[in-house]
Structure 1
Amino acid sequence: MSYKLSRKDFLKGVGAGAITIAAAGTLVGCKSNSGAGKGIYTPGTYTATAKGIGTVKMTATFDANKITDIKLDVSEETESIGQKAADEIIKQLMKAQGTEIDGITGATVTANAAKECLEKCIAQAKGETVEEEPGQGEGPGGPGGPRGPKLDREAAKKAAEADGRVFGYAAAGNKWLGSAPKYDKVDETVDTDVVVIGLGHAGVQAVLGAAEKGAKVVGLEAQEQDMFSWYGEDIGAWNSQFAKNIGIPEWNLGQVIDEFVTRGGGRADPGIVSLYVKNSGPTLDHMIDVAKEMGVDSKVYTYDNTENGWTIVHVNMDYEKIKAGNNIYDCLDLTNYPRHPGTKTWPATVQFMGQYSAEEVQGVAAHSVLKYVQQACLDKAVKDYGTTLYYGTSAKVLLKDDSGRVTGVIAEDVDGKKIQYNVKKGVVVCGGDYAGNAEMSWALLTEYMERFEREGGLQKDFKSGMGGRDGSAVKLLCWAGGMVEPAPRGTMLLGGGINGPWGSNSMLWLNHEGKRYCNEGNVTGAATATARQKAGDGYLVTDSNFMQSVCACGIEHGAPNGGRPQYYQDLMNDMAAIPTGKSEPTQIRGCFVAERMGAAVYKADTLDQLADLMGVPAESKQTWLDSIAHYNGLCAAGADTDFGKDPSAMVPVLEAPFYGCKGNLGNNATTPMMVTMSGVMTDLNLNVTDVEHNPIPGLYAAGNCLGGRYGTGYSTPCAGNSIGMAVTHGRLAGQFVVDNEK
């Protein structure tokens, strides 16, 4: 007969066979039925688990009247204590035919877990079912909270398959992962210590990092050599000697790490961020040392912020010095940080910008000279350490032995030749992200996918238009057992809010109704707040004191860049030259990135005139003017009681001439713009982990396929940290694979 007991009643005991049961553990087995016979038990085999040092698992077999066999899995217990005692525990349980045993000295925790398992198996054999009290389930529960429902990963995998999902990911009906290719034979075999997949920013430093540790290294790059180069110009590097040499002080790195994690809503892994922040300065300095050693043009690694210089450090300026009419080169502010109009920023970015341009220049990192530094690092690995590089060679699948260790990779070159690379140490995957893969982006970037679809976007268009970034590296890692970090997953949406020739800023923004809608200095929240607005025009408004606002801005990605002082002088000259009252905006030069992207600016004698020039709707105009007056009142009071912008950035809009810029509000830019910001999870050795958070021997990740770096998007306390993280984590991963894999 089958019946249920409440936990309270069950703990009091039931008949002669009364037992106790703990809250933790998993209960699995057969129920009794009315035809079970007259014995004590329903014959059969029953299983249970309980918490010891780890998880103790038992399988117990019963006939009608006795326990006939017990098997105990204590593989997660201490080897010299719990595992050693297993046979004696089984012997005592069998002899007692129950849980009344003496126990094992020194192995009490394991013995008690085994007794608990047997209690559960006995309960099942008697047809008894324990009904858990609310909040006291058998699963892991939330952090620090009560245990939840029991979990069964195999059942969850089957449920995901039935839903048409990839296990562990939310998107239904999307088979983005597919299956790993299989190879019956290869054309060539290469033996080495370490293979690095991908020779972008992370891969270069992984190659050199492993080679300098004495490893025989092979580097694989999918692009052909004559088509290959590096992208970007900024390296965010904290407390580098390069920065100290120009007078920038050391910063409190604990505060920096906390700011990273806070900006990401707690979604970034503090340990992964810490690895970057604490090691980025030495990584940059090492790269520069290599460039010097390998004979790179000294202009590449020499600080020079004049028009003839190539390499600078991203800083802002001192407004009081500008206001006093000082030479622009005497107005640099190297020490008064963090800037905190809404989020904190510090000078940490070395910018390999290349030549100054007096005109607008299109093309991302058009003049960057960072490529010369990276090439020098590759050259050193090849010439000094015998590294072999294979261009036009795409990794297709990672190889694992029966123990689960990654032992190599099969790749194909441009001619279809299949090459198997066997490794003694391991594989470091630095093959980039998935921004160019619409199917993967649609499945994994759930927040942005929802925004895009609500605007009428289709999956086929949900990708970066910048080429590459096909997600193949992420698939390699997942096929080998890795897991992409859970949602929300970010992408690099540049800027945020309503920009102007100064880039990301903390000036006053008004929506199409003429209302202020956020703390403009909080770049982390500004892009999302802007996306939440009804689609339409937004308006940035400032006045003759615009440089005060520019100097109050943070110095993160896309922010004002006083590190190239001539940019600020150009900005002031261009703003002064804008015709007042012109119906069409004037295109002027920007002061925030090397490309000198332009921006359209309106200029007026009055705010009323500015509203008309910018096309503020008639029904919104009075609200628009009232919002500016209200904002001026907050500035006068010294406190933003509406949204909390820092007083340092509360600059009123009072003195003619008045300036304005227009921007788009709403969900207009929600496709993956440059790169995705999520990747697979690792431990703090950058060793890729499986679904149970166990490291996969021989498998490491760095660059844009590494998870834990960001939260919901690209909001950080300095510019250039995407490349900064890539080179830093890459170098560390190359070192870790050599040091940790024996």
Structure 2
Amino acid sequence: MAKNITRRDFLKTAALGVAGMTAAGLLGGCSTTGNSAKTGTYTPGTYSATATGMATIKVTATFDAEKITDIVLDLSGETPSIGQAAAEELVKRALEAQSPEFDAVTGATVTSNAVAKALKNCIAQAKGEIDVTVVDETRQTKEVVDWLGTEPDTPEVSETVETGTVIVGAGNGGLMCGAVAAKLGLKFAIIETLPTNGDTRHWYGAIGSKHAQAAGVQMDINRLKREVSRYASGKNSKEVLNTWINESAEMSDFIDELYAQYNPESKCTFTAGEEAYWPEDCRDGYMFPEQEHVWGREKSRNDMLAEYIADHSDAVIYYSTDLVKIERDENGKIIGIIAQNNLTDAYIRIKAQNVVIATGGYPGNPDMMEQLDPLGTSVTTACSYAPQDKGMGIKAACWIGAKLQEEPAPMLFDRGIVKPGVDAGLVKVESGDRVFPGTVRQFNLGTQPFLKVNRNGLRFTNESGPYNDMVYAAAQQPGHVYASILAADWADQVDRFHTIGCSAQTRANPKGQQEALDKYVEEGLAFKADTLEELGAKLGMEGEALTNFVATCARYDELAAKGSDDDFGKPASRLSRLNTAPFYGFWLGASLLTTEQGIMINGKGQALDQNNEVIDGLYVIGDASGGMFANNYPCLMPGIACGRTLTYGMKVAKVIAGVDEA
């Protein structure tokens, strides 16, 4: 199995050099401002190149005859708290190395890779190894293009590999599929766009596991089926849902075995009893299935799955490798994929009888977001997704006739804190890319059901509901954003609110949330005031809006004191007084975690075509697959999405191995 290696090690052993990258046509050069005569290692001058990180990054490097003297980075499309925050360190490391062979900044691997790749192109220009061309600056006025595009022509490949199954994506679903395939003795390979395994989603939902049995939980399965269908307005596939319900316990058993072998000190916490429920007066007919499992985070589950694959098979994981297209023969039979190393641009053909798409959703693809989910896009201010999730697996499957779910299903958390005056939705940055404006991935306190007001200072909804209810209500408000208003004693209220799932982190650690709140006050993302009128002014309200705000707060305090929300019907347990200074406020929109609108599948994970017939040899799992959810993510069922992903990872491996009849 191919182990993780540093960029320096990789570039020392890369099969193709810069010329290979240039031939691929992915990077552009720039005009040089130096002399044309070359008397040393480099032709002195300034050169630029672009590469793809979370968005388009640009590196501009200045050379004298023997060294790089300056590097300027345009990382305007990268995540502010991650990629942009690494800019100074990246420049330092690159200048010290005098080459692209510098180690990635921890936590900013995607951006680091892109900087290294673009710098390598600049060096090649300065050495005269490739032509100097002008970076395309017209990207700043680029129009939105059709999200699907056209299937690329088959490129010239430099290597061909044969295997039985190729799994595209080394995340939760792909690594689970690989681990079970290894256990069953299948021959397979995995490709992953990152230089390491994808992030682990530690929460997962499973029905009837040993942990549930130990807790004495007896699930009303028929009600669960009705409830998931109700969330989706009946648009989900009951067959797809049933596979998760019927087989997730077996998946959980495998996870138990994994931890016993690779992390025996870790324990599984199963959420049961009243902890899994909202307060009595808030339940409103919702079902709160007791099915969430959380293991300790001292070791990544995905890393353990990769270790299991290494120990139980000779499968190779090709890191830093992108899917280009799925290949079929003249009869339409799946025969494998074309992939590309995203550091060297070398193309590889992987011949296989089965292709498993496990590439995640499309939250990192602005064109897909705007065209496939305009409403979800319009209410989002921040992102907490993996930037490599650009929908490539979905597009590749559509190119060969797979059916895309028609209904969007974004996972929106009401925690996207932004500064006053910032609208929700994608914005164009200097690089020409479109990104969400928030600089914080998620502010957990945002989910708590305190008073919420719009820019006119008016309350507009019942603040107690599933995550997405709040942000969709804001779609009808100015800028699609809203302000959350808290009193000094806010931490005394959250135990009574008793929100569940990951939003329970606020009541589990109110001190940590207060520290985050204080930090955001210092940064101008949140505001603190001794009076509500002062708070409204700091939030950017003036004139009639400020008058409305003060009146709205007084009205809300009156309703809370009475214990009855006569305006919007919020349950009494979720009301809180606004009579203790100082007061806090901050603006919010949605934080987008992922999308779950993917390729339609059956209960075996097999992709379906436009006639709902099976595409033999093509499987899709996780957020790249459709059929499980529609409209939104059922956040009152914590872990259900990852539980589905892990279950189908196991299911597909079993189907391919013939353990389950395909």
Separation of aligned partners in 2, 1:218 and 1:176: 26
The one-letter amino acid paired with 1:302 is K
Classify the secondary structure of the residue corresponding to 1:675: strand
Separation of aligned partners in 1, 2:325 and 2:596: 23
Q: Is the 8 A contact 1:501 1:598 kept in 2?
A: no
Classify the secondary structure of the residue corresponding to 1:725: helix
Q: 1:600 to 1:350 in 2, by over 3 A?
A: farther
Q: 1:234 to 1:185 in 2, by over 3 A?
A: closer
Q: 1:467 to 1:334 in 2, by over 3 A?
A: closer
Match of 1:663 in 2: 587
Separation of aligned partners in 1, 2:645 and 2:461: 32
Deviation at 1:525, TM superposition (A): 1.6
Match of 2:654 in 1: 735
Match of 2:402 in 1: 482
Match of 1:644 in 2: 569
Q: 1:547 to 1:431 in 2, by over 3 A?
A: same
TM-score, with normalisation over the residues of structure 2? 0.63
Separation of aligned partners in 2, 1:568 and 1:245: 32
Match of 2:625 in 1: 706
Match of 1:602 in 2: 528
For 1:146-545, list aligned pairs within 5 A.
174=146, 176-182=148-154, 187-192=159-164, 194-223=165-194, 227-239=195-207, 241=209, 243-244=211-212, 247=215, 249-293=217-261, 295-296=262-263, 298-299=264-265, 301-303=266-268, 334=275, 336=277, 340=282, 345=288, 348-352=291-295, 354=297, 369=298, 371=300, 373-401=301-329, 404-413=332-341, 414=344, 416-423=346-353, 426-448=354-376, 467-490=387-410, 492=412, 495=415, 502-522=445-465, 523-535=467-479, 538-542=483-487, 544=489
Q: 1:675 to 1:640 in 2, by over 3 A?
A: same
Separation of aligned partners in 1, 2:224 and 2:400: 34
Q: 1:683 to 1:694 in 2, by over 3 A?
A: same
Separation of aligned partners in 1, 2:385 and 2:499: 29
Classify the secondary structure of the residue corresponding to 1:516: coil
What RMSD, in angstroms, separates the aligned Cα atoms of the two structures?
Answer: 4.2
Q: Is the 8 A contact 1:248 1:347 kept in 2?
A: no
Percentage identity across aligned positions?
18
1:299-351, Cα deviation, whole Å (9 max, x unpaired): 4x225xxxxxxxx5678xxxxxxxxxxxxxxxx95365587467655564444
Match of 2:114 in 1: none
For 1:5-16, list aligned pairs within 5 A.
none
Deviation at 1:679, TM superposition (A): 0.9
Q: Is the 8 A contact 1:505 1:559 kept in 2?
A: no
Q: Is the 8 A contact 2:181 2:654 kept in 1?
A: yes
Q: Is the 8 A contact 2:403 2:612 kept in 1?
A: no
Separation of aligned partners in 2, 1:248 and 1:380: 31
Deviation at 1:207, TM superposition (A): 1.3
Deviation at 1:700, TM superposition (A): 0.8
Classify the secondary structure of the residue corresponding to 1:486: coil
Deviation at 1:678, TM superposition (A): 1.5
Match of 2:423 in 1: none
Separation of aligned partners in 2, 1:314 and 1:644: 29
Are positions 1:687 and 2:606 aligned together? yes
Classify the secondary structure of the residue corresponding to 1:724: helix
Deviation at 1:696, TM superposition (A): 0.9
Separation of aligned partners in 2, 1:246 and 1:715: 25
Match of 2:644 in 1: 725
Q: Is the 8 A contact 2:157 2:349 kept in 1?
A: no
The one-letter amino acid paired with 1:380 is Y
Match of 1:53 in 2: none
Q: 1:451 to 1:337 in 2, by over 3 A?
A: closer
Deviation at 1:552, TM superposition (A): 1.8
Q: Is the 8 A contact 2:600 2:608 kept in 1?
A: yes
Q: 1:500 to 1:540 in 2, by over 3 A?
A: farther
Q: 1:618 to 1:722 in 2, by over 3 A?
A: same
The one-letter amino acid paired with 1:283 is M
Classify the secondary structure of the residue corresponding to 2:396: helix
Separation of aligned partners in 2, 1:508 and 1:685: 45
Classify the secondary structure of the residue corresponding to 2:594: coil
Q: Is the 8 A contact 1:495 1:557 kept in 2?
A: no
For 1:565-604, list aligned pairs within 5 A.
565=508, 567-568=509-510, 586-587=518-519, 600=526, 602=528, 604=530
Classify the secondary structure of the residue corresponding to 2:251: helix
Match of 1:96 in 2: none
Q: Is the 8 A contact 1:688 1:699 kept in 2?
A: yes
Classify the secondary structure of the residue corresponding to 1:334: helix
Separation of aligned partners in 2, 1:637 and 1:255: 35
Q: Is the 8 A contact 1:264 1:712 kept in 2?
A: yes
1:213-256, Cα deviation, whole Å (9 max, x unpaired): 34322223333xxx213314432223465754885845434444
Q: Is the 8 A contact 2:278 2:500 kept in 1?
A: no
Deviation at 1:430, TM superposition (A): 0.8
The one-letter amino acid paired with 1:695 is V
Q: Is the 8 A contact 2:326 2:400 kept in 1?
A: yes
Deviation at 1:477, TM superposition (A): 0.9
Separation of aligned partners in 1, 2:384 and 2:209: 36
The one-letter amino acid paired with 2:375 is E
Deviation at 1:610, TM superposition (A): 5.5
Q: 1:524 to 1:437 in 2, by over 3 A?
A: closer
1:367-397, Cα deviation, whole Å (9 max, x unpaired): xx452x2222233233224434333444433
Q: Is the 8 A contact 1:698 1:741 kept in 2?
A: no
The gaps in structure 2 that reach 5 residues or longer are 1-142, 419-441
Q: Is the 8 A contact 1:338 1:344 kept in 2?
A: no
Classify the secondary structure of the residue corresponding to 1:502: helix
Deviation at 1:205, TM superposition (A): 0.8
Separation of aligned partners in 2, 1:480 and 1:221: 21
Q: Which has the larger radius of gyration?
A: 1
The gaps in structure 1 that reach 5 residues or longer are 1-170, 304-311, 316-331, 355-368, 456-461, 579-584, 590-596
Q: Is the 8 A contact 1:345 1:556 kept in 2?
A: no
TM-score, with normalisation over the residues of structure 1? 0.57
Match of 2:597 in 1: 678
The one-letter amino acid paired with 2:267 is T
